[in-house]
Amino acid sequence: MSAKSNAKNYVNDVLNTVKIVSPRQPIFHQAATEVLQSLVPLFEREPKYQKHSVLDRIVLPEKTTIFRTVYIDDKGKACVHFGYRVEFNSALGPYKGGLRFHPTVNLDVLKFLGFEQIFKNSLTGLNIGGAKGGANFDPKGKSDGEIMRFCQAFASELSKLIGDVKDVPAGDIGVGAREIGYMYGQYKKITSRFDGAFTGKGLSWGGSLVRTEATGYGSVYFAEELLKTKNDNLEGKTCTISGSGNVAIYTAQKLYHYGAKPIAVSDSSGYIYDKEGIDVELLKELKEVKRERISEYAKIKPSAKFVSVSKYPKDRNGIWDVPCDAAFPSATQNELNLEDAKTLYNNGCRLVCEGANMPSNLEAIDFFLSKKDLLFGPAKAANAGGVAVSALEMAQNASMTSWSFEEVDTKLQNIMKHIFKISYEASKEFGDEGNIVLGSNIAGFRKVADAMIDQGYI
């Protein structure tokens, strides 16, 4: 059998096994398919990965913990939730990855996120393994007391797993500075340790400057690197950004620094289009301080209009109908399908840079890759800035120092440049120059896989 068909068969065999051993996990299958299929050219050249069954091992989390989480709501009712921590891979360092609190959280979602995190973390060049956790808890509409009690209940179990050189959680959707604070307080109470067991901490108690901004800033730095390959830059470009959490907010802020104009942002209720450009301070006030719906923005700013999701079929995301030069999907997984991709392209969009995890589905990615005049920055490369600064927070905690904003921001820029460079070089090495999906998957995988081989069958 040729090396090519052998490599293809190996990938298909592992993907079939994943389907059998992890039934009813379509989102994890999607993530595994996206990564594994682009590794075929690597396996054609390097039979050692098959010999050491690296793929068979890497698709299985090292350890998965599921725990009951119960808290008392303001009416005195006991509310019961599933808590999870998927410790996927520790070949490169302590488990690292965020916690998501959202009603859609289940093992499928967390396995997809944990799996992506392995390769994303590897790309940063820093010593961090991959993990993800969370709960099917909806923070929306909860009082501060309810959030605190939920976080304490969740952290009581989580604390048995984590530690500064063991497993270091951070935020993700529904988990920001407030939640990290409540969980860290509980961790400290249980373990009597003031160590860097979480990242995204408050600045006065071990947090790092730039952590809040990092994912959004990093995604814009990555977009600039993509544009440089075409002797272009962000200046003067109109941009749409889905989402309005910290990724979207700081993507918008950094776009202005580069002379671009963000014109639309969204939340689960719909999107706003502001022809004058998104007012970042107003967005921060509404979303970070007041925790309001995005429609409030249009009530305050006359240049903006709000378009409700109810105007669109369930599988479409209205924001992608807004004509733009560049799109930054920064809300959640599978928020951009083939129809959205075609609409963006037909309206003139020539750059898509993913701030969320796996926002484009497989058909949309294939469409983007088929367009030679469109630049595509896949999530695990483009949104790695957040976890990269988390690793810098760990480094500062370990050496009991704190770096200035400029120092951390410069390191972040260099890390994003490094990720782009190794992904671009791998795309070239494997015969499809500029295909950053291929390049980032191969570059991210190779480092973890080699470490797994070095460390024996564990």
Which of these ranges, 291-299, 384-392, 415-423, 434-442, lies near ligand GLU under the rule CB under 6 A? Answer: 384-392
CB of 387 to ligand GLU, least distance (A): 4
Fill in the DSSP letter of residue 149: H
CB closer to ligand GLU, 172 vs 267? 172
In this structure, the dihedral spanned by the alpha carbons of residues 35, 91, 153 and 109, taken in order and rounded to 10 degrees, is: 10
Among 38, 122, 357, 427, binds ligand GLU (CB under 6 A): 357
423 binds ligand GLU (CB under 6 A): no
Within 13 Å, how many C-alpha atoms sit on residue 454's CB side?
9
- State yes or no: 117 annotated in a binding site: yes
CB of 314 to ligand GLU, least distance (A): 25
161 binds ligand GLU (CB under 6 A): no
199 binds ligand GLU (CB under 6 A): yes
**Given 4, 8, 111, 132, the catalytic residue:** 132
Fill in the DSSP letter of residue 136: S
Q: CA angle at residue 436 from 262 to 411, to 5 degrees?
A: 65
Contact pattern from residue 15 through residue 54 relative to ligand GLU, giving x for each residue in contact according to CB under 6 A and a dash for the rest: ----------------------------------------
- State yes or no: 233 annotated in a binding site: no
- Residue 440, token pair as written in the block: 């980032």
416 binds ligand GLU (CB under 6 A): no
Give the β-pairing of 326-329 and 351-353: parallel
Q: Which of 163, 96, 89 shows the shortest CA–CA distance to 124?
A: 96
Which of these ranges, 90-98, 138-146, 397-405, 435-443, lies near ligand GLU under the rule CB under 6 A? Answer: 90-98
Give the number of other CB atoms < 10 A from CB of residue 355.
31
CB closer to ligand GLU, 219 vs 357? 357
Which of these ranges, 92-100, 103-111, 182-190, 444-452, lies near ligand GLU under the rule CB under 6 A? Answer: 92-100
Compute the distance between CA of residue 284 and CA of residue 291 in angstroms, rounded to an integer: 9
- Residue 389, token pair as written in the block: 């600064």
Compute the distance between CA of residue 27 and CA of residue 424 in angstroms, rounded to an integer: 27
96 binds ligand GLU (CB under 6 A): yes
CB of 65 to ligand GLU, least distance (A): 17
159 binds ligand GLU (CB under 6 A): no
Annotation says 447 is catalytic:
no
172 binds ligand GLU (CB under 6 A): yes
Q: CA angle at residue 400 from 397 to 401, to 5 degrees?
A: 95
212 binds ligand GLU (CB under 6 A): no
390 binds ligand GLU (CB under 6 A): yes
Compute the distance between CA of residue 67 and CA of residue 95 in angstroms, rounded to an integer: 18
Compute the distance between CA of residue 104 and CA of residue 172 in angstroms, rounded to an integer: 13
CB closer to ligand GLU, 103 vs 236? 103
Q: Are 387 and 97 in contact (CB under 8 A)?
A: yes
Compute the distance between CA of residue 353 and CA of residue 378 in angstroms, rounded to an integer: 6
Which of these ranges, 226-234, 320-328, 383-391, 412-420, lies near ligand GLU under the rule CB under 6 A? Answer: 383-391
Among 83, 93, 94, 98, binds ligand GLU (CB under 6 A): 98
Within 13 Å, how many C-alpha atoms sit on residue 82's CB side?
17
- Residue 350, token pair as written in the block: 């020539």
Show which residues are catalytic: 132
| Contact residues for ligand GLU, defined by CB under 6 A | 96-98, 170, 172, 199, 357, 386-387, 390
